[in-house]
Amino acid sequence: MTTLKSKLQEDLTAAIRARDELRSSTLRLTLSAITKEEVSGKTARELSDDEVQKVIAKEAKKRREAADAFAQGGRAEQAEREKAEGVILDAYLPQQLTDDELNQIVAQAVEEARSAGAEGPRAMGAVMKIVNPKVAGRAEGGRVAAAVKRLLAG
């Protein structure tokens, strides 16, 4: 068992013992998503820590989107629960980049792409290829794409 997955298991056990319903249900759903990912495909396999982290990031993103949807639908109580679940999952993810750090990385990538001959909005793909490995897991794709578009347009 990977170290991140075993940490989730241990934290689930602790949450159950502490009768922390929110934390235990969140961790149960996340472990269930990890297991589902492990058995998907032709053969069952154990996920690496990086793959487990991607599953956790996907689950955290689902929580943020659900919280937004509930807030727009006027269901504030449900939105707060989703936000709280997202906060619990964020604890298992690497520290997210600030907007300044992200803009700095994107600016360097834009300069690299320009030196390679890519200019304007058409350079989006080239810049994203440079940026994505540098920010992997530390910034959401939508944030990265928005920053790239902003710098290429301006």
The residues, ordered by sequence, that sit 6+ positions from 85 with a Cβ below 8 Å of its Cβ are: 22, 25, 26, 63
Q: What is the pLDDT of residue 154?
A: 65
Residue 1 pLDDT > 70: no
Residue 2 pLDDT > 70: no
Q: What angle do CA 31, 140, 51 make, to 5 degrees?
A: 35
Contact 58, 80 (CB under 8 A): no
pLDDT in tens, 75-130: 999 999 999 999 998 888 888 777 788 788 888 887 877 777 767 667 777 778 88
Burial class (CB in 10 A: 0-12, 13-18, 19+), 74: exposed
Q: What is the pLDDT of residue 80?
A: 93
Report how far Cα 83 is from the mean position of its chain's Cα atoms: 14
Residue 140 pLDDT > 90: no
pLDDT in tens, 34-79: 999 989 878 888 888 888 888 888 898 899 999 999 999 999 999 9
Between CA 56 and CA 94 the distance in angstroms is 11
